[in-house]
Structure 1
Amino acid sequence: MYEVIAGGWEQLEKDAKYIREHVFIQEQGIASEDEWDDFDATAVHFMVYDKEQPIATARLLPQHSVGRVAVLMLYRKQGIGKILMQHIIEYARQHKLPYLKLSAQTYVTAFYEALGFHVQGEVYEDCGIPHIDMILELT
């Protein structure tokens, strides 16, 4: 049974950094100066735990933007990303957000479409990785 927690950076920084360092910096080769920004301080962070172990993370910025969605490699293809995103969508609905948007790596577009997101615009590069903007209307 997985536990999903929403909280601030001061509460979840250690666990979120652990996952993002593994997935984005080590696995995908993103430079650490591109990974860490000032938005972490103002975002709501979401963590998924398997027992006490942090296994997935994401953040929700004040502009309704979901980002830094990451699941540790050992836990992929098990529905954990879906659990995480459904939790964020429910949080957004409870807080009366009109929509959620995100910049998806193109290879996971179908994952987000299955959650109700729609592609907007053209593919572009971010940190050398193809991305596309997606939106989920909540109203």
Structure 2
Amino acid sequence: MNNIHIRIADWQKDNAELRRIREKVFIAEQAVPPELEWDADDQGAVHFLALDGDYAIGTARLLPDGHIGRVSVLKDWRGLKVGDALMQAAIAEAERRGLQEQRLSAQVHASAFYERLGFKIISGEFLEAGIPHVDMLRHSQ
């Protein structure tokens, strides 16, 4: 992971890379309908790109209300702490913006990953795009 780094992305300039990753992970792998993947929130969100050298391998977004979402890492880079790095970047940016609470809707199978980052489950299970999710909340120290 020594060549992997995270940077804030520009929704306009980095759009092709952000879309490539999210389409591969959410639409192709997880069968999320495209009309549910793309929403008006993308325009006003802070986007993050994980890169291996110059190649984009992961993404996440932070909404103005502290909601973190669209966390996705290409299959060949999973298990290398890329998701951890994306989440740490999103949490740090949220805190830098004074957002003392960070929220997310986690796929149930990934909830333990988010719990390790300080998130707590605050809802029962529900379906989103046909996938079981739970809402989670983290309070900054």
Normalising by structure 2, report the TM-score. Answer: 0.95
SS for the counterpart of 1:11 is coil
Gaps of 5+ in 2: none
CA contact (8 A) 2:65 2:99 kept: no
Measured on the aligned residues, the alpha-carbon RMSD in Å equals 0.9
**Cα distance in 2, alignment partners of residues 66 and 11 from structure 1:** 21
Matched with 2:20 is 18
SS for the counterpart of 1:70 is strand
Amino acid across the alignment from 1:114: R
SS for the counterpart of 1:62 is coil
Q: Deviations over 1:100-126 (max 9, x none)?
A: 000000000000000000000110000
Match of 1:50 among 30, 33, 52: 52
More strand by share: 1
SS for the counterpart of 1:14 is helix
**Cα distance in 2, alignment partners of residues 130 and 12 from structure 1:** 30
**Cα distance in 2, alignment partners of residues 12 and 96 from structure 1:** 26
- For residues 72-111 of structure 1, the aligned pairs below 5 Å read 72-111=74-113
Give the % identical residues: 40
CA contact (8 A) 2:59 2:70 kept: yes
Q: Deviations over 1:29-87 (max 9, x none)?
A: 11111111111101010000001110000011111100110000000011110011011
**Moved segments of 4+, more than 2 Å:** none
Shift in Å at residue 3 of structure 1?
A: 1.9
Aligned residues between the structures: 139
Normalising by structure 1, report the TM-score. Answer: 0.96
**Cα distance in 1, alignment partners of residues 14 and 132 from structure 2:** 28
Match of 1:126 among 125, 128, 132: 128
SS for the counterpart of 1:122 is coil
Matched with 1:114 is 116
Amino acid across the alignment from 1:108: A
Shift in Å at residue 95 of structure 1?
A: 1.6
**Cα distance in 1, alignment partners of residues 24 and 112 from structure 2:** 23
Gaps of 5+ in 1: none
CA contact (8 A) 1:12 1:45 kept: no
